[in-house]
Amino acid sequence: MRIPLDSKDLPDKWYNIVPDLEFPLPPPMTSSGYSLSERDLESLSPDSIIEQEFEKNKREILIPREVRECYSLWRPTPLFRAERLEKILATPARIFYKYEGGGFSVSHEANTAVAQAYYASSEGAKRVVTATGSGEWGVSLAVACNYFNIKCRVYMVRSSYEGKVYGRYLMEILGAEVLPSPSDKTLAGKKVLSQDSQSPGSLSIALSEAFEDAYSDDSAKFCWGSVMNHVLLHQTVVGLEARRQMQRANAHPDVLIAAIGGGSAFGGLVFPFYPDRSQGIKRLAVETTASPSLSKGQYTYDYADAGGLSLMLKMYTLGHGFVQPGIRAGGMRYHGISPIISLLYREKQIEAKTYMQREAFEAGIIFARTEGLVPSLECSYAVKAALDEALACKERKEHKNILFVLDANSNFDLDTYKDFVEGSIEDQPFLEEHVRVALERLPRAMAE
């Protein structure tokens, strides 16, 4: 059952959670350990983005007309009740999902991409630069750059560049310049290549390269795909719409679920329900066992990128040098988690749970065969958690309303599902040793 929303209900403001936080949000720091000023970000980000990043007072931020016009191309997105799934599980729970994968881009990431491309373009930048793992984020930004007539350069993790070819093709078809990272275009890339000419790269390395690129060109701005406050701010359109749709379905959510990599899908769904917290909503962030930043990380200041080029954030982190096992869900492999979400976890406002990739993909296939939609690999973790919550409701005879975000479709992931169906996907153990080594290399002065 689809619970639609009229065009006129497209939000005209983003929701800024920061003024509503009951706990002080630790500020970002420069990479050398000083308090980060707005000026420190000037060469990296458009002024409007910097202002949003530091906004502590306004609960609502007006969405520019140009951005809202873009949103209206695919928003409001539908919210579905998964009645076939409920029936198969024989659960008294009601399962809802907000679907972000049917728009022009393949995922929710377009929500911030069009905003960032707009601000960069309107403030005179000629080019934006970013880093991407499996390509969803890069694709969203490539689409957005075409809308605002601005060039797009993407540093793509080399293992994804060579493996997940569809994301790369799509960015190139859309006119973006895609470079495999580590590349020989930047000092950061060259440094990695000098140590390991066959380096598969990582999102943290690609970020270092993109930062360096943006710093070295006055006409270029860097775009963040996740983690930062302003990205999660833009993503709140997802939860704002979902909140109205749940009201329309006369269903107060008892459990909110999203998969978490850096936090943009989670924050986008969950933050707009934060003012309802007196109503005892469970908020569940679902991690992959192989990269459990919240569940196994340390709450401390760490670099956003491998080379420590940009800034430090207080967050749950596995260490900026953490080498992830080769799991398939590229979007869940970042070493840290959004500072706001990290704070909420620290203050026990949210919960975290991990799953192995095989159990997640199995849930993804159950969902695909009942609902007709194949979730992205990342979303399959959220699906697994939703199934488990629904089964727990069955056990306890509880009539809960479960809401999760299906933030992307499976365009880039069909080969992984095929490998799973054919039995060639192995689970990846949690590499405790890797985490220990990476955490030892945290910026010492800043550790708690």
Closer by beta carbon to a copy of itself, 170 or else 285: 170
Closer by beta carbon to a copy of itself, 36 or else 67: 67
Query: Quick one: CA dihedral 177, 302, 357, 84, positive or negative?
Result: negative
Residue 82 CB, nearest approach to a copy of itself (Å): 11
Closer by beta carbon to a copy of itself, 1 or else 447: 1
Residue 361 CB, nearest approach to a copy of itself (Å): 10
Tokens 């976890």 found at: 345
- Length of the chain in terms of residues written: 448
Residue 6 CB, nearest approach to a copy of itself (Å): 7
Residue 169 CB, nearest approach to a copy of itself (Å): 4
Taking CA 369 as the corner, what is the angle to CA 413 and CA 93, rounded to the nearest 5 degrees? Answer: 110
C-alpha span between 206 and 225 (Å, rounded): 12
Closer by beta carbon to a copy of itself, 105 or else 107: 105
Closer by beta carbon to a copy of itself, 5 or else 125: 5
336 close to 317: Cβ distance less than 8 angstroms: yes
Closer by beta carbon to a copy of itself, 102 or else 429: 102
Take residue 353 and report the two structure tokens written for it.
């749970």
Tokens 């908020």 found at: 283
Take residue 63 and report the two structure tokens written for it.
């969405």
Residue 104 CB, nearest approach to a copy of itself (Å): 4
Closer by beta carbon to a copy of itself, 80 or else 316: 80
If 0-12 CB within 10 Å is exposed, 13-18 middle and 19+ buried, where does residue 173 land? exposed
Residue 365 CB, nearest approach to a copy of itself (Å): 6
Residue 72 CB, nearest approach to a copy of itself (Å): 6
Closer by beta carbon to a copy of itself, 164 or else 335: 164
Closer by beta carbon to a copy of itself, 53 or else 407: 407
Residue 364 CB, nearest approach to a copy of itself (Å): 9
Whether a cis peptide bond, with omega within 30° of 0, leads into 375 is no
Helix (H, G, I), strand (E, B) or coil at 402: strand
Closer by beta carbon to a copy of itself, 84 or else 126: 84
Residue 47 CB, nearest approach to a copy of itself (Å): 26
C-alpha span between 353 and 201 (Å, rounded): 27
Contact residues toward a copy of itself (CB under 8 A) are 1-2, 4, 6-7, 69, 72-74, 80, 84, 102-105, 143, 146-147, 165-166, 169-170, 172-175, 365, 368-374, 411, 414-415, 417-418, 421
- End-to-end alpha-carbon separation of the chain, Å? 49
Query: Quick one: CA dihedral 387, 388, 394, 397, positive or negative?
Result: negative
Residue 118 CB, nearest approach to a copy of itself (Å): 14
412 close to 136: Cβ distance less than 8 angstroms: yes
CA distances from 51 to 119, 227, 329, 398, 437 (A): 11, 16, 32, 44, 36
Long-range contacts of 22-28 (CB under 8 A, 24+ apart): 22/347, 23/343, 23/346, 23/347, 25/339, 25/340, 25/343, 26/301, 26/314, 26/339, 26/343, 27/314, 28/311, 28/312, 28/313, 28/314, 28/339
